[in-house]
Amino acid sequence: MTTFADIADALAGQAIELPSWAFGNSGTRFKVFATPGTPRTVQEKIADAAKVHELTGLAPTVALHIPWDTVDDYGALRAHAEDHGVRLGTINSNTFQDDAYKFGSLTHVDETIRRKAVEHHFACIDVMDATGSRDLKIWLADGTNYAGQGDLRGRQDRLAESLARIYDRLSGDQRMVLEYKFFEPAFYHTDVPDWGTSYAQVSALGERAMVCLDTGHHAPGTNIEFIVMQLLRLGKLGSFDFNSRYYADDDLIVGSADPFQLFRILYEVIRGGGFGPGSDVAFMLDQCHNVEDKVPGQIRSVLNVQEMTARALLVDRDALSKAQADGDVLGANGILMDAFYTDVRPDLAAWRESRGLPADPMHAYATSGYQRRIETDRVGGQQAGWGA
Amino acid sequence: MTTFADIADALAGQAIELPSWAFGNSGTRFKVFATPGTPRTVQEKIADAAKVHELTGLAPTVALHIPWDTVDDYGALRAHAEDHGVRLGTINSNTFQDDAYKFGSLTHVDETIRRKAVEHHFACIDVMDATGSRDLKIWLADGTNYAGQGDLRGRQDRLAESLARIYDRLSGDQRMVLEYKFFEPAFYHTDVPDWGTSYAQVSALGERAMVCLDTGHHAPGTNIEFIVMQLLRLGKLGSFDFNSRYYADDDLIVGSADPFQLFRILYEVIRGGGFGPGSDVAFMLDQCHNVEDKVPGQIRSVLNVQEMTARALLVDRDALSKAQADGDVLGANGILMDAFYTDVRPDLAAWRESRGLPADPMHAYATSGYQRRIETDRVGGQQAGWGA
Amino acid sequence: MTTFADIADALAGQAIELPSWAFGNSGTRFKVFATPGTPRTVQEKIADAAKVHELTGLAPTVALHIPWDTVDDYGALRAHAEDHGVRLGTINSNTFQDDAYKFGSLTHVDETIRRKAVEHHFACIDVMDATGSRDLKIWLADGTNYAGQGDLRGRQDRLAESLARIYDRLSGDQRMVLEYKFFEPAFYHTDVPDWGTSYAQVSALGERAMVCLDTGHHAPGTNIEFIVMQLLRLGKLGSFDFNSRYYADDDLIVGSADPFQLFRILYEVIRGGGFGPGSDVAFMLDQCHNVEDKVPGQIRSVLNVQEMTARALLVDRDALSKAQADGDVLGANGILMDAFYTDVRPDLAAWRESRGLPADPMHAYATSGYQRRIETDRVGGQQAGWGA
Amino acid sequence: MTTFADIADALAGQAIELPSWAFGNSGTRFKVFATPGTPRTVQEKIADAAKVHELTGLAPTVALHIPWDTVDDYGALRAHAEDHGVRLGTINSNTFQDDAYKFGSLTHVDETIRRKAVEHHFACIDVMDATGSRDLKIWLADGTNYAGQGDLRGRQDRLAESLARIYDRLSGDQRMVLEYKFFEPAFYHTDVPDWGTSYAQVSALGERAMVCLDTGHHAPGTNIEFIVMQLLRLGKLGSFDFNSRYYADDDLIVGSADPFQLFRILYEVIRGGGFGPGSDVAFMLDQCHNVEDKVPGQIRSVLNVQEMTARALLVDRDALSKAQADGDVLGANGILMDAFYTDVRPDLAAWRESRGLPADPMHAYATSGYQRRIETDRVGGQQAGWGA
């Protein structure tokens, strides 16, 4: 049997990147509710992210989104982050908000617009050079709303060409991670709708092109841990965007909708070598705190990943292999469930304290005065959101 | 066998209400693309709607959305509509965009906020009194994003109480129609998520409370025509919001995603007595033209409903009943498919001409100069959208 | 805070009915795998069910399925059950396996066949009279595979009439529970596809007609606990068929696919008064052990329900109400999750021992020699399955 | 504009393979209804298939399923088919009905069982050598019902190894086509659940390994024509299994549930070069006629494919490309819909007559006396089904 002591070291290496945009306002097409204390600048977003890391030890890096987080001096931003105890991470491109992209970006039938979109990615790579970021993440919103609106095949071919131009611009150990998404904002077809498409596209590029798996971007009923297994097996799992969903791309707090699914995903990550020192798989959050407070929402999220990682590490893999080999269905399932149902929270609290962290980061935040301070200080200006 | 001549009279009575907001800009949480010629005022929206009616003869009324279409003088607005050859129709309330409604409106735990939401509906009824509208349509966005966030039962009970207060305010032949929706903007639970809930709530109110069926508001795989049948059978089908979907509430042009489903729905409407002079069922569109032109988008939509109604009317119901009674599965299905595959477009074109309408309303619009004119005239001001 | 001591008494009253057919062979349309030790008779099924009760104290009754469990002398069968320490429970009818029902049973267009189906239910009520069962459960497989094959409305009307004839035959405190199911075995439409239809039908019958909620019979994404809440609110939740699903009606072990969903369901049951001495809601399993051993599969299932009931009882409802009233989204959700993540297994083991039950019923079964004995004894004859 | 005359030649080359099992009885796990006239032998199945071809000219080959269609002398069977005017086609393997495969076949943890499954495929290749069949189709039912029951990664690795052994046994222009399926008969995970997995597996094998796309084997909402496009683009679309679905793998008549989807699929096939003399893509049916007559069910099916192919060929691709390039969403969609709504049935009837075929094959069958003859002749023996 595996005990908490056995897994403590493995947990120590865990790092979950926070998205800068999680600290801004978000919502649905119907309404974005504003909340007091919301950052007005990328610097304030980084300060909030740093608070999450200070209290949890889990979130050493912050992902940026260009142009939402555009600044004049990325060196200064990098220093700002480091002053707050975090580093800048993945650079996320955006080719879905410029009017030019109404009918596509990297897939657009018009070479002028494709070039614009490609050059936006070049600019993102320039940012990466300045921030020292490893990963360029592309979530491509391209798609169509009506059958016939676009030529599916031509768009896919143009996508391949555009991606190749971007990939060729990468240098050193920079990587491209290509995210797939089942639907939204396009409602008939999406140009990178599934892992197969992302895999086929990145495989054609080269070793430093990988797939990004967003846990909320699948069809109903999809077995996500199977895809995790397959991408690890194929050597193409680049990164995770963690969140959870009941219906569509709900972008809820990771682990909140189906904790057991998160457990199975993390078990498969560990099983397939995607966790720990030898792995290059990046763990990120990609969430929207539409109705809940943002900083504690992020704290809750990284804790959920940590707690579930602990449970997944507790699985007695030798016993499991034996039960599987014996065709002992109930026994094998029981071994997994035993780990899932283990309450790791007390051990984790003690472990945190032993490492100089608050035992209960949620409580520590609530009593830190930080929320009151940002609500008081951040008055005036334009609160950050998806469009700003 | 039924021929087009047999159904021509029935078609003459068809009326499909247009939503004022379909002429404004819309989009997703990621981006709302603006388009030239978009109305800045409710008067301009009504003008656009009137154009649709002028070319199709199908859209004699326009639904308003409060507060998006708020004006000082509804009598003047009514006159404006009538000057353009259309009438004002259903009044749609909105309790999802005020900051007060972040955690609910008619279901809110706080009586103050419930009262505010109820009073908004009173104000809508005042508008109805002024416009002569029959129907108050309530789409309730209330719901929660996380398990435990709200008390499902308490919210349902409060909803019943709030609806009763609103219902009691109706007078004459005014009706309330309560729309249900599977999800969005809430992602864990929605307070009126399915027809059963809407039916249970309106049944508790009285005869003038009915269900509104939005064709895009169901779980994947739901047999919508079955619900149409059931609500007609129970005497509680108040109105339709037509649109189509591939994934979620995509709000695409009705009939564009699954024409055969629209056919089955309209067949069941006819079968159940929901079409024609004896029926009170209201037919409305509720769509978003995110990427296509809005006025021709609405023309295409009402034509789709008309064409499919014609096909549904063509079903040889006597032969169908006989095949059904005989257990002739292929025969019965074949009778339905024969009507569906009949190309009614030439007959409809001739029928339109015989009634002084353009044979091809889409072509008539394209050559009318209207689009160029509104693009030229509507400069400056704030284009209408969901927030204005 | 609620502790295990606070809930121990409530747990003592829990009873979960076992379906006789869970002990027989089952499978898919592709293959039914046979297993050694499978019962050949209803008496052997009851013996297996009694073993589950002996080891868990949770399963005092066994549901029968007619005609699979038909015997000449139900009084003798009742005595057999009582000799084994259990009682006979719900009687399940079957109108889906006779060749006459190819195109429907209670809904059939032919009165002769409807009468046959109604009379089958009369025979089931006769069985109930002999066994002392309270509930007649109707799962109606009626439906069609192709649009047009049947007249949806006519079928619904005939269903109402057939149900009324059956309902009128009930006496004393006998009840009818009408199950709904999204699809299967029919693939275009099902005559009782959703809770709304079941609710509308049973409401027309009277007080002793109720809805049966099978947790596996919903569209993807359906919020089942909402339906639980609504049916309890409307006074029409008659019984549960517990199982779990990833895709369709998978009939897997309850709690195995989405433990958190089971928790939310049970929380809503408790919240709505559906658990405990004052409630008439019946809890049953309805599962297929296609690949796992059957007796321990049933033990695992009732334990899952018990463990999750304990977690749901542990929710601090006062604190929850307060957080809900305060709009504290993370706090309210956290209160629920605290209960869910509590490892109740050690307390339950001790509680079982204090009541003369084995601390670990799964282990107790494995070491009991029962499985080996039935494998040795039950040789020859025809193993029970769905057709026998 | 494209007219029927333009596409008549292209239609002449169309061939749709019939599955022998479509003529046998089928059903659900609840019931298989028997029908008079059902074949008892593979020879009778072939006779029925030949009747379909005789009346439609569309179905020159018959797929066999081993062991359901096992005979001693495949040379004689080939001659029997040719005597009836058809040829033997794809050979389908079966590793889901032997008791040994309860926990897997090509993926099984036990090498003995994997070998047995591999050798079954060798035997199928022997049959192919005798029948002159080109394609070995593998639909792999392997999967698990409970998390933890199997090791997803190990199973995938073993699958790769087993497939390699089978692939190596192919000779000449023989091909392997690997089908994927979302779920069923396994309900937690399936070893080849999606096109990405099938693509990754066959890509590792070589040029003669391809993907089989069954139109009923996808998650709800999946854009199937996108996958068609992608597989054609990647050169890996080997064959189609046509059928249709509303919910799960319903195996209904192709084109019956969503005719517009079938149209879009066939359009993408044509667009991507998958139709016509230069293409190796095989078109097959894979359906169950649970409640409808089988021979006319197959006739209806091939006619549906033919009619929809004609509509897809009618799309004015030049005009479509122009509208797409212009960003004319409604125009582009309208071009597609124009073709879809064209009633090709009269032209096809004339075209059939010009080729010596009955104008209305369904009517021709109904009046042929064939059905009465087989009902009279096929008395006694064991009707063919999935288990025999």
Q: What pLDDT sits at residue C387?
A: 78
How large is the ipTM? 0.98
Neighbours of chain B (3+ CB pairs under 8 A): A, C, D
Q: C30–D97: do the CB atoms touch at under 8 Å?
A: yes
- The partner residue sitting opposite B221, judged by closest CB among C144, C151, C219, is C219
- The partner residue sitting opposite B341, judged by closest CB among D221, D256, D345, is D345
Q: C324–B109: do the CB atoms touch at under 8 Å?
A: yes
Q: What pLDDT sits at residue A231?
A: 98
Cβ-based contacts under 8 A for chains A and C: 57
Neighbours of chain C (3+ CB pairs under 8 A): A, B, D
Burial of A382 from C-beta contacts in 10 A (0-12 / 13-18 / 19+): exposed
Q: What is the pLDDT of residues B39-49, one digit of tens each?
A: 999 999 999 99
Min Cα separation D319/chain B (Å): 16
Min Cα separation B247/chain A (Å): 7
Cβ-based contacts under 8 A for chains C and D: 107
Collapsed DSSP state (helix, strand, coil) of residue D241: strand
Q: What is the pLDDT of residues D13-38, one digit of tens each?
A: 999 999 999 999 999 999 999 999 99
**Is pLDDT of A214 > 70?**
yes
How many Å apart are CA B192 and CA B198, to the nearest integer?
6
What dihedral angle (degrees, nearest 10) is formed by the CA atoms of B35, B39, B40, B42?
-150
Q: Using pLDDT thresholds of 50, 70 and 90, give the confidence band for residue B1.
A: confident
Q: What pLDDT sits at residue B49?
A: 98
- The partner residue sitting opposite C341, judged by closest CB among A221, A247, A343, is A343
Q: A341–C345: do the CB atoms touch at under 8 Å?
A: yes
Tell whether B256 is within 8 A of chain A (Cβ): yes
Q: Which two tokens stand for residue C297?
A: 């599969």
Backbone φ and ψ of A135, nearest 5°: -110, 135
Tell whether D103 is within 8 A of chain C (Cβ): yes
Tell whether B246 is within 8 A of chain A (Cβ): yes
Collapsed DSSP state (helix, strand, coil) of residue A175: strand
How many Å apart are CA A174 and CA A128, to the nearest integer?
8
Contacts of B335 in chain C (CB under 8 A): 148
How many Å apart are CA C94 and CA C386, to the nearest integer?
11
- Nearest C-alpha in A relative to C253: A330
User: Could you give all domains of chain A from N- to C-terminal order, each with its CATH number?
Assistant: 14-314 (3.20.20.150)
Q: Residue type for B21, please?
A: W
Contacts of D188 in chain C (CB under 8 A): 246, 252, 257
**Is pLDDT of C117 > 90?**
yes
Q: What pLDDT sits at residue B250?
A: 96
Backbone φ and ψ of A319, nearest 5°: -60, -35
**Is pLDDT of A261 > 80?**
yes
Tell whether D204 is within 8 A of chain A (Cβ): no
Picking from C149, C182, C232, C308 by the largest number of B CB atoms within 10 A of its own CB, the best residue to mutate is: C149
Collapsed DSSP state (helix, strand, coil) of residue D197: helix
Q: Residue type for D214, please?
A: D
Backbone φ and ψ of C19, nearest 5°: -85, 130
Q: What pLDDT sits at residue C191?
A: 98
Tell whether B297 is within 8 A of chain D (Cβ): yes
When the pLDDT of each residue in chain D is averaged and rounded to a whole number, the result is 97
Q: What pLDDT sits at residue A387?
A: 77
- The partner residue sitting opposite D185, judged by closest CB among C31, C145, C147, is C31
3-state secondary structure chain B: CCCHHHHHHHHHCCCCEEEHHHHCCCECCCCECCCCCCCCCHHHHHHHHHHHHHHHCCCCEEEEECCCCCCCCHHHHHHHHHHCCCEEEEEECCCCCCHHHCCCCCCCCCHHHHHHHHHHHHHHHHHHHHHCCCEEEEECCCEECCCCCCCHHHHHHHHHHHHHHHHHHCCCCCEEEEECCCCCCCCCEECCCCHHHHHHHHHCCCCCEEEEEECCCCCCCCCHHHHHHHHHHCCCEEEEEECECCCCCCCECCCCCCHHHHHHHHHHHHHCCCCCCCCCCEEEECCCCCCCCHHHHHHHHHHHHHHHHHHHHCCCHHHHHHHHHCCCHHHHHHHHHHHHHCCCHHHHHHHHHHCCCCCCHHHHHHCCCHHHHHHHHCCCCCCCCCCC
All residues at 6 or more sequence positions from C265 whose CB lies less than 8 Å from its CB, including other chains: C215, C224, C225, C228
Q: What pLDDT sits at residue D1?
A: 78
Nearest to D263 by CA among D222, B15, D271: D271
Neighbours of chain A (3+ CB pairs under 8 A): B, C, D
**Is pLDDT of A388 > 60?**
no
Give me the mean pLDDT over the C285-310 stretch. 98
The percent of residues above 90 in pLDDT, for chain D, comes to: 98
- The partner residue sitting opposite B220, judged by closest CB among D220, D291, D342, is D220
Tell whether B291 is within 8 A of chain A (Cβ): yes
How many Å apart are CA B224 and CA B240, to the nearest integer?
12
Tell whether C183 is within 8 A of chain D (Cβ): yes
Q: What pLDDT sits at residue A288?
A: 95
Tell whether B329 is within 8 A of chain C (Cβ): yes
Q: Which two tokens stand for residue D263?
A: 């149209």
Tell whether C143 is within 8 A of chain B (Cβ): no
**Is pLDDT of B387 > 90?**
no
With beta carbons less than 8 A apart as the criterion, state whether A53 and A318 touch.
no
Q: What is the pLDDT of residues D256-307, one digit of tens each?
A: 999 999 999 999 999 999 999 999 999 999 999 999 999 999 999 999 999 9
Q: What pLDDT sits at residue B202?
A: 98
Give me the mean pLDDT over the C132-153 stretch. 98
* CA of residue A274 relative to chain centroid, distance: 15
**Is pLDDT of D388 > 70?**
no
How many Å apart are CA A65 and CA D342, to the nearest integer?
48
Tell whether D33 is within 8 A of chain C (Cβ): yes
Give me the mean pLDDT over the A18-42 stretch. 97
Q: Which residues pair with A138 in a beta bridge?
A: A178
Q: Which two tokens stand for residue B166?
A: 């609103």
Contacts of C229 in chain B (CB under 8 A): 152-153, 156
- Nearest C-alpha in D relative to C32: D97
- Nearest C-alpha in B relative to D292: B329
Tell whether C375 is within 8 A of chain A (Cβ): no
Collapsed DSSP state (helix, strand, coil) of residue D135: strand
Min Cα separation D203/chain C (Å): 28
**Is pLDDT of D387 > 90?**
no
Q: What pLDDT sits at residue A1?
A: 78
Min Cα separation D323/chain B (Å): 12
